[in-house]
Amino acid sequence: MKRLVVAALLSLFTSCGGCGAPSSSTDASLAMETQKNTMTLQVIEDFNRTTEYRLQQIKGKVGARQTNGDCFLPECPSSMLSQCVSGSGKSSGCIGCLTEASGEACCLCPEGSQATYQGCSALKQKEVTLTPNCKTYRFPVGGDSCEALYRNMEQIPYLQGLDGWLTMAFIMPAFNLRYFYVFDPAPGPEGQICVRGSLKDLIIPLSFSVFYPEWTRSQLCPKAWEDFLHKVRMHEERHARIAQESIAELKQRLHTLSFDSRCGATQAEAESRAFEAINMSLGREWREFVQHYQTAQDDFDQYDYKRQQAEGPLMNCSLCK
């Protein structure tokens, strides 16, 4: 009996989802069953729509603009006046601001570009690991003083975090699940065709959208503002690490999944039932993943909130006086 190989795509945090079209070796009835059986993963579809809607709402409500900076590297000050120029002459901003051994700030450029002024040395560039698949957004916050800045942030929609805490920045990870599944012959009752499904070539791409505040009057208190942004970047980077660790654990669990065989009067019927068994198992794994993932992120927020409370204000307004 010929093995059937089918490609599938499940978008876990984005707006599109469902399984890809069956391979040419399947008939029309299996194609219909394949489309129908994706409904067993409705929980993923609902989560996708909610997350994508919230992301678009945040972008619009806080007036966020995307930058070309790395998600977790300090942004270069406007006073540096450095640009990155590629071999084709295209210019862009620095993707991060680093500090050389001499203590001088330097502009880190994308690969293939050179800084027009105060570029980072080759040695310094080798020390940096950039964050792949990460988009950085910045949203403006006004205020003529440190205290006014806090008050204004409290008025911005979508910045109220866990238990009413003020969210100074936030990160939104996105995961996709791409895989191939195969059907192999399996023993079963006489007169029935039986197959067993299994996952192959499992890939889970991970990407991030990170939102940071941009104080429009930061020149009033540059030291306190830079210290504040450093703490915020460290916090959001830890959220990213939790996402990466959670995905690694999910991938390991999915690789070890085994599925019961399914039988039918025809090859198409047996494969359709085996496909449904795969979808049901993935749905259960997804629910467990979301629960454990959210618990890990919430636990970190609770821990870091208590740590920050013990250390003092997140932004030290006394440095502004």
Structure confidence at residue 142 as a pLDDT band (50, 70, 90):
confident
In this structure, of 19-28, 67-76, 160-169, 291-300, the range with the lowest mean pLDDT score is 19-28
**Rounded distance between C-alpha atoms, residue 95 and residue 76, angstroms:** 8
Percentage of the chain modeled with pLDDT above 90: 22
In this structure, of 50-54, 76-80, 207-211, the range with the lowest mean pLDDT score is 50-54
pLDDT above 60: residue 20: no
In this prediction, residues 181-187 reach a mean pLDDT of 90
Structure tokens at 260: 């019961």
In this prediction, residues 264-284 reach a mean pLDDT of 90
**Rounded distance between C-alpha atoms, residue 121 and residue 86, angstroms:** 17
Structure confidence at residue 25 as a pLDDT band (50, 70, 90):
very low
Whole-model pTM over 0.85? no
Structure confidence at residue 317 as a pLDDT band (50, 70, 90):
confident
For the chain, what are the domain ranges?
Answer: 4-72+131-320, 74-128
pLDDT tens, residue by residue, 215-226: 988 888 888 888
pLDDT tens, residue by residue, 101-122: 898 999 999 888 999 989 999 9
Q: Is 89 left (phi over 0), alpha (psi -120 to 50) or beta?
A: left
pLDDT tens, residue by residue, 161-172: 544 445 678 888
* pLDDT mean across residues, the chain: 78
Predicted confidence at residue 48, as pLDDT, reads 62
Predicted confidence at residue 166, as pLDDT, reads 54
DSSP letters spanning 61-110: HTT-EEESS-TTSPPPPGGG---EEETTS-EE--SEEEE-TTS-EEEE--
Predicted confidence at residue 312, as pLDDT, reads 78
Predicted confidence at residue 46, as pLDDT, reads 65
